[in-house]
Structure 1
Amino acid sequence: MTITDHLTLTTIDDVWLENRRGGSSIGIGESRPRVSWATASASPVGSVAFELTREDGTVDLHLEHGGGRRLIEWPFAPLTSREAVSLRLRVVGDGVDSVWSAPYRIEAGLLERTDWHVPFVSPSPAEPQGELRPGYLLRADWDSVDPARIRRARIYSTAHGVYEVELNGAPVSEELLSPGWTSYSHRLRSQTFDVTEAIRAGRNVIGVWLADGWYRGRIGFEGGLWDVYGRDASVLLQVEITLTDGSRLDVPLTDSWRWSKAPITSAGLYEGEAYDARLLPSGWSDTGFDAQHWQRPVVLPFDDFDAAIEAPTGPPIKVTEVLRPISVEAIAGSRIRLDFGQNIAGKLRIRASADAGHTLTLHHAEVIENGALGVRPLRSAISVDSYTFAGDGVEEWTPRFTLHGFRYAELENWPGGIDTVDVEALVVHTDMERTGWFESSHPGLNRLHENVVWSMRDNFVDLPTDCPQRDERLGWTGDIQVFTPTALRLFGAHGTLSGWLRDVAHEQADQGHVPNFVPWIECGFPNHPTAAWGDAAVIVPWEMYRHDGDTRVLVDQYDSMKAWVDLVDDLTGHTGLWNTGFQLGDWLDPAAPPDSPGASQTDKYLVATAYHVRTARILAETAAILGRETDAAHYGAVAERATTAFQREYIAPSGRIVSDTVTAIAVALVFELFATEEQVAHAGDRLLHLVAAGDFHISTGFVGTPIICDALVRAGGIDAAYHLLLQEELPSWLYPVSMGATTIWERWDSMLPDGSVNPGDMTSFNHYALGAVADFMHRVVAGLDSAEPGFASLRIAPQPGGALTHASASHRTPLGLASSAWRRDGESFFLDVEVPPSATATVVLPGGGGEHRVGPGRHSFTSTFRPASQDAPKPPYRRW
């Protein structure tokens, strides 16, 4: 078949901008958005034609040569604020063109600060601290032109607080907890809502629900802080209407705004929400409602606030799934307990009828302890909602401005028998696209992987957090540093992480270093440069580049990456040895006492120096990629100096590591810190001995756990890695699974074998960090990996073991779906792979089955594989 024949069959069926595959293209923040596209075919592509149609009917054409599919630079004049265009693509070549893709609508948001010409309006610029505040209703109305004259209508809005918008009595969006949590002192995200179809002839009404949220509500642990970013709860909302003749009307709302307290009588992200349905003014956000008795808001000039107003880089928070309880039971105290079968971040939705004034209380917890909700780990986040009925028949309600981490809920004062319970759990998180899957013949391993997926969902509520349930929920840098490779395997997290990295850079500039969580708040935690945590400024953008092959994140974050490595270099006195100051080390080593999670067996300064080597090397390579040769040479020298310092301080000539722990050896192996192959071999043998001597139980914390299996493989111990991975006794990855866990725990023993909760003050049942092993499951167990940034070249090399009879992984790469699925029957090994369009793969069969180079499409292989003994080796442990 000729190339021309191929082109007649190649139709572009998916177009997106930047890394927002599946996301909205209305209200974007880029004037020159990069374009990506995909086809269902793996056919070769010569050139791609771009056709851009503007609203005035003018058409611009561009021919992109070379068949590139990813992040093609915007080939047209930059978009201006509010500009709306339609983009179509098609493959062309040899005189034969494919059909045009479906039109892709693109619309810029407000790109300049001067595009905003309304003030913030605040119902209550200041209220007392220390107690929960109510929610507020704001209302404004205006007379619209005839809808037949309207081409489009937009609401551009944001808030100091959290908010939802209604127009003429109906919500304008499914987004929740907007505008999310950013470093508000520096940047505030805005939302763009298309309300064209909702505009009526004559009178129209805007309604806003508003509450404190992260902006001025209580956040942080040790009692938390109030009014961190300001004392005003306020909204910034601009309505613009573009007419069919191209002119624009700016709707005057400032003098029309009125406010009243909402039926939300109190709201806190940690505490919960109280709602009295009797207080809801009927029709308040629609025409016909008399708001003359409502109060005028305080007008806060826009220029009084310095933060940049930005479009989101990632998707919004939404309800992504609805769960029904798997059990409903009456318990002591006239309560009804619900078990939803899954630990989630979310809230309840109730449907019931009761007399006016009847109050239903909703309690939440992750676990049951001693027959009751296990609420002690929540600390001061009481997680209690209440609803007072209006008495208007069947009423449906869910809280707006709070979020809970829970599997179990109890209904106190349910208005009816147990058979009338109608309650659902709404799963809430950033609406990311799922991109990675794993399955095997081991049910426990499958459940472990699903637990990782759920913990990521529950902890990506606008930013990557540590936990969704207790009085914390902060963007800990160390957690996402170790988890980023897994995060990018499982979901399209690029937009969320890009936005968060902007905040990292802002907070870094303020604090003089990368704080331990971002956004940073002074709530009692030590504020010092910390290895593995601060290193997120370098490692997270690097892992994003490795996944996407997109250098933009390296360009955007380069100054931040450089500032971190420079700081650490200064802290070492330019010796490379970081052996002073505060460190968290191998946090949550399972041998650490419950009340001292940082008491690791591994030298914390060994960890610090090792990470200095790693990030200096990454920065040197980043500088080389970006063409900054002077920087590349400089940071290469910094890395060499730190490597030498590590070797002198922590490695004996034989290869013995001074700390002599599993984490210490794993770090040295995976970070490639040894001077000779003989040292590597000796350290590998020692690692295998220590793991076997520990009877293949986990002995690592935050630093060692994500890399221990890879370290064992590098030591020649693939079977040891499987024994460790499939261990079910405490401490191990599968111990929580054996205890019924549906998410990843913060501690290996968050729940003890007797069903009691770990006595430490810091215990969560929903942390993703220790689930970073899922990346190993994809890369090594199933064998699906990238051989170069961006997945243009794959390496598919499964390494069977652990008595598994089959395993598979698939990933929606930047170029399309890739997969590796193997099974074995006796000594026969079968492998099926899928390579996405425009990619190639090197397939390495286990057991000496050879190496094969293949192109796009599906391929099958058969070979002979003789598994090693499945009995766990015991020390003395010989090198394989």
Structure 2
Amino acid sequence: MSNNTRVRELRVERRTDGAYADTPTPRLSWTVESDVPGWWQAGAEVRLDGEHVARLDTDESHFVPWPFDALAPHARHTLEVRVTGTDGGTSPWSAPVALRSTFLADGEWTAPFVGLAEPPAPATPGLLRTELDLGGEVASATLYASAHGVYQVEINGQDVDDAVLKPGWTAYQHRLVHEATDVTALLRPGANAVGVRLAGGWWTESYGFHGEARPFYGEQPAVAVQLHVVLTDGTTRVLTTGPDWRGAVAGPVTASGIYAGERIDARRALPGWSLPGFDDSAWSPVRADDDAVVPEPALAEPVRRIDELGVQDVITTPSGRTVLDFGQNLVGRLRVRVSGEAGQVITLRHAEVLEHGELGVRPLRHAEATDRLVLSGGQDVFEPEFTFHGFRYAEVDGWPGRLDLATAREAVTAVVISSDMRRTGWFECSDERVDRLHENVVWGMRGNFVSLPTDCPQRDERLGWTGDIQVFGPTASYLYDSDAFLASWLRDVAAEQAARDGVCPVVVPFVLPFGSQPAAAWGDAATVVPTTLLERFADRRALAEQYPSMRAWADVLVGLSGERLLWEGMFQFGDWLDPDAPPDDPAGAKTDPDIVASAYVVRSLQLVTAAAREVGDDEAAARYGDLTERARQAWVREYTTPSGRVVSDAQTAYALAIAFDLVDDATRARMGDRLAWLVRRAGYRIGTGFVGTPIVQDALTSTGHADVAARLLLQTGVPSWLYAVTMGATTVWERWDSMLPDGSINPGEMTSFNHYAFGAVADWLHRTVAGLAPGTPGYRRLRVAPVPIVGLDHATTRFESPYGTAEAGWAARDGQVVVHAVVPPNTRAEVLLPGGERLEVGAGPHEWTVPDPRTRPAPAPVTLGSTLGEVADDAEAYALVQATVEELAGRRTSALRSLREWTDQRTLEEELTRLAPAARERVGAALEVLSSRRGSRS
């Protein structure tokens, strides 16, 4: 027996916060630690309840099929695993894991949904309760509960868990989920009480834009509770919601809305209301709501409080208002500790930015995002429960006494909430601005993964836009173990499609009065996201479950594109938020929307073909494969020229052709050259929107233009990824210029400072710059292929893969590049070193030293006589010209807006004729100083 190999972790199904079986046959996964070089599993044993052992003749350790009889509902077991390597050594048994079934038997869910009998207004929060006498000792107890709204259950005065906003948001009319919480420790022999705090949440919210939002699901919240208790004598008791429950418009929460915020009156605290013996004679019998949807077990981790941040600054605005700055744009709410006169109201208004020193609330549109706290007259602790806000700043009004920094740090805490997924991916490099960009992506994902993948967390929207997650899914799957989260959301996608003849709507859950029509890149989430779960997690169960949904969307596309297999002339978002689109027309992109739509026809057909092969549907694979090739040829025939141009001569058009494999190798190379030329002509500034941004860096790098991709990454002018960083952003913005250089908010009706779509570049940082990618589904085989780029001295990424910790990166010094990699046990890696050498390695740490392939030619002198292209190619000179002209022309009306084509056909002096002669002389003098400084360096 080897003491150097052990099982580090044993997991059940997808969730990362415990061993929960939402199916009778859950898959098992384990990770191994070993100091044996190249360790590979030869077999494994799984032990159930310390006595039943299943011997597995397999080298697989991720999503291994359940090796025992199917689990029963309410089951509780322990699991252990040990592994044997090809070296002959066998590990000790792993630490036992407590497994619980979270599903119910068919027909076992009997709890009706109940709510307040006569609420005085829509979306009225309230309290519900009942009591039960258990008699004997409790052996085990599980609480199953769901809601039309959001809720928390108390048993004998204690919350049953630390989850918030339960049960989250699903496509309620099609699908509800229930929790399955172990509450054994909360129950006792004899009298017990169960209480529910209840509010409307997403169920009673109004959805829509332009002040025309309307309720979608229902007017009042309701809850369904089913408590399953097993006594030590074997007796089973089941308590459900029903007519014996009582409710009251009571408790501190007097009003609550996702967009509006919450009002909490501490004077209405009701001690003991969820304890046995409480006098509820003044409460009313509950009402019962009909619902034919039977809740299913929750697949994903719930929303929880995941972090806390303190006040960083207290700002007095020009108008005299008090604003707290938490230093980070976040999603959550404030916990406030305060005492003051009874009835005094503290008002908290939340926003992401300041504009000219005042709270920037215009981007919130109709979301009030305001909490009101009514003091009891004693020592109060407030934290809104059934709402959340996207904010960095909170304006405080009505505070008793002076709110200085010391007081604020003691009294106010920002509580960060998110779906409680496990962090799995990290990146760091030699440029702190890029590191900040990556951190912004992480914070943006945290804030927009609250029960479902939303577009933004702050304004009157916060919807599951399909286009956003379609492009961000790979990044999300690296940063966090989001398999359960996305697999759950995909069930809603399939349900919404089934209600619309296969059309995947633009938001899921679908709650809008528009948007049910198909839209390219948005509806394609139906094919792209399941493929991402296969690629990143090897989740073949999710792919098989979604396969009918994938086919349904592909069939919609075939019908829309007709005999020509071109999707033309219909509604499209296109390359949404192209930086050249006017503020009031975010769809006004340089790339024709038909080009985008028809490219996505090919893309989805490609993915459905691959999925058909994966699930063994050979007939469908042949059919969709033929359609793929016909659609690809149609795209090339209609939208490209023999010389390799695309009729929309824009960055996104070429990126699509390259990234989606729409053209042959020779054309691909020419298109890569043209794409690089377009980026250079733009002064190495980004020219893509939601569609092009996630793929433009891959398109450049894969066609031999890593130097251009590097300039694009490290650009700080607007538009660019780092522009927001230079403006102090701590999350990714919706628009490239959500905030203008003068500190004013973009004039468009729609702008957000927390949108993750443009953060999809992080996946390129992981896979390409640092060089760690899945070679086969789930990283069973890794691909280590770092691409050192000019402007960075080192880059490293670390990833908690399904098989253990993987790492890749590089560091450049003294004309060489040192590449390193850590390959987890039970995996292998294909390595492509800078310079082209290929090799294969097994588990363990590895390091290679190769010549630095990057070229850094000595900079040529740059003068007013240099061409604009020559200026653009010289990053230092380019930045100097930008800064000087901006200083001369003013930041708002910069003459640089006319410098849009940095080509070799015009000189800098010719382009600067629009400036006064003295200004041109200033630019020339600045360039002379630069040349002199360079000369002294050499």
TM-score, with normalisation over the residues of structure 1? 0.94
Alpha-carbon deviations, 1:662-683, whole Å to 9, x = none?
A: 1111111111212x43322322
Report the equivalent of 2:364: 378
Report the CA distance between 1:252 and its aligned residue. 6.3
Report the CA distance between 1:223 and its aligned residue. 3.2
1:233 to 221, 245, 249: 221
Contact 1:30-1:111 within 8 A present in 2 as well: no
2:856 to 869, 876, 879: 869
| 2-structure distance, mates of 1:748, 1:95 | 56
Report the equivalent of 1:857: 844
One-letter amino acid matched to 1:86: T
2:206 to 218, 234, 237: 218
Contact 2:141-2:183 within 8 A present in 1 as well: yes
Report the CA distance shift for 1:544/1:362 in structure 2 as closer, same or farther (over 3 A): same
| 2-structure distance, mates of 1:333, 1:143 | 60
2:98 to 99, 105, 114: 105
SS at match of 2:194: strand
Matched, 1:46 2:42: yes
1:844 to 804, 808, 832: 832
Matched, 1:412 2:397: yes
| 1-structure distance, mates of 2:822, 2:19 | 30
Alpha-carbon deviations, 1:233-282, whole Å to 9, x = none?
A: 11101122112233311236635411111321111100100011111222
| 2-structure distance, mates of 1:314, 1:105 | 18
One-letter amino acid matched to 2:340: A
| 1-structure distance, mates of 2:525, 2:569 | 20
Report the CA distance between 1:471 and its aligned residue. 0.3
Contact 1:334-1:413 within 8 A present in 2 as well: no
Report the CA distance between 1:684 and its aligned residue. 2.0
| 2-structure distance, mates of 1:77, 1:127 | 52
Contact 2:318-2:357 within 8 A present in 1 as well: no
Deviates most, 625-634 or 192-201:
192-201
Report the equivalent of 1:514: 504
Contact 2:335-2:382 within 8 A present in 1 as well: yes
Matched, 1:173 2:161: yes
Contact 1:501-1:557 within 8 A present in 2 as well: yes
Contact 1:220-1:474 within 8 A present in 2 as well: no
Report the CA distance between 1:121 and its aligned residue. 1.5
Report the equivalent of 1:399: 384
| 1-structure distance, mates of 2:358, 2:80 | 59
Q: CA RMSD in A?
A: 1.9
Alpha-carbon deviations, 1:551-583, whole Å to 9, x = none?
A: 212210111100111111011113211113111
Matched, 1:61 2:42: no
| 1-structure distance, mates of 2:71, 2:217 | 33
Counterpart mapping for 1:762-781 below 5 A: 762-781=750-769
Contact 1:689-1:876 within 8 A present in 2 as well: no
Report the equivalent of 2:194: 206
Counterpart mapping for 1:546-561 below 5 A: 546-561=535-550
Report the equivalent of 1:369: 355
SS at match of 1:858: strand
Report the CA distance between 1:113 and its aligned residue. 4.5
Contact 1:726-1:802 within 8 A present in 2 as well: no
Matched, 1:245 2:233: yes
Report the CA distance between 1:794 and its aligned residue. 1.4
One-letter amino acid matched to 2:744: S
SS at match of 1:747: coil
One-letter amino acid matched to 1:165: V
1:36 to 12, 29, 36: 29
| 2-structure distance, mates of 1:625, 1:200 | 51
TM-score, with normalisation over the residues of structure 2? 0.89
Report the equivalent of 1:117: 110
| 2-structure distance, mates of 1:95, 1:546 | 31
Deviates most, 772-781 or 547-556:
547-556
Segments of structure 2 that go 5 or more residues without pairing to the other structure are 860-871, 874-901, 906-938
| 1-structure distance, mates of 2:179, 2:712 | 47
One-letter amino acid matched to 1:857: G
| 2-structure distance, mates of 1:349, 1:334 | 24
Number of equivalenced pairs = 854
One-letter amino acid matched to 2:132: W
2:579 to 571, 576, 590: 590
Contact 1:136-1:210 within 8 A present in 2 as well: yes
Contact 2:333-2:388 within 8 A present in 1 as well: yes
Contact 2:128-2:245 within 8 A present in 1 as well: yes
| 2-structure distance, mates of 1:252, 1:656 | 66
Contact 1:135-1:263 within 8 A present in 2 as well: no
Report the equivalent of 2:430: 441
Matched, 1:350 2:345: no
Report the equivalent of 1:657: 646
| 2-structure distance, mates of 1:126, 1:255 | 17
Deviates most, 555-564 or 108-117:
108-117
Instruction: Percent identity, please.
Output: 45
Alpha-carbon deviations, 1:408-467, whole Å to 9, x = none?
A: 011101112224331010111101100100000001100000000000000000000000
Counterpart mapping for 1:95-494 below 5 A: 97-124=90-117, 133-146=123-136, 149-223=137-211, 225-251=213-239, 254-261=242-249, 262-300=251-289, 304-331=290-317, 335-392=321-378, 394-419=379-404, 420-421=407-408, 422-494=411-483
Report the CA distance shift for 1:876/1:813 in structure 2 as closer, same or farther (over 3 A): farther
Report the CA distance between 1:779 and its aligned residue. 1.0
Report the CA distance between 1:687 and its aligned residue. 1.3
Matched, 1:80 2:72: yes
Contact 2:80-2:94 within 8 A present in 1 as well: yes
Report the CA distance between 1:701 and its aligned residue. 0.4
One-letter amino acid matched to 1:111: L
Contact 1:787-1:793 within 8 A present in 2 as well: yes
| 2-structure distance, mates of 1:526, 1:96 | 58
One-letter amino acid matched to 1:397: F
Alpha-carbon deviations, 1:159-203, whole Å to 9, x = none?
A: 111001111112111111001000011111101121111113332
Report the equivalent of 2:598: 609
Alpha-carbon deviations, 1:513-537, whole Å to 9, x = none?
A: 11001000133x3431111110110
Contact 1:346-1:404 within 8 A present in 2 as well: yes
1:90 to 82, 91, 101: 82
Report the CA distance between 1:328 and its aligned residue. 1.7
Report the CA distance shift for 1:606/1:194 in structure 2 as closer, same or farther (over 3 A): same
1:568 to 543, 557, 568: 557
Contact 1:719-1:868 within 8 A present in 2 as well: no
SS at match of 1:511: coil
| 2-structure distance, mates of 1:678, 1:125 | 72
Matched, 1:700 2:688: yes
Contact 1:142-1:253 within 8 A present in 2 as well: no
| 1-structure distance, mates of 2:686, 2:241 | 61
Report the equivalent of 2:929: none
| 1-structure distance, mates of 2:307, 2:715 | 32
One-letter amino acid matched to 2:372: S
Deviates most, 627-636 or 60-69:
60-69
SS at match of 1:584: coil
Alpha-carbon deviations, 1:338-397, whole Å to 9, x = none?
A: 1000001110000011111111111100000122100000001010101101112x2111
Report the equivalent of 1:14: 9
Contact 1:127-1:231 within 8 A present in 2 as well: no
| 2-structure distance, mates of 1:813, 1:97 | 22
One-letter amino acid matched to 1:25: A
Report the CA distance between 1:128 and its aligned residue. 5.3
| 2-structure distance, mates of 1:252, 1:119 | 8
Report the CA distance between 1:707 and its aligned residue. 0.7
One-letter amino acid matched to 1:116: W
Report the equivalent of 2:63: 71
One-letter amino acid matched to 2:356: N
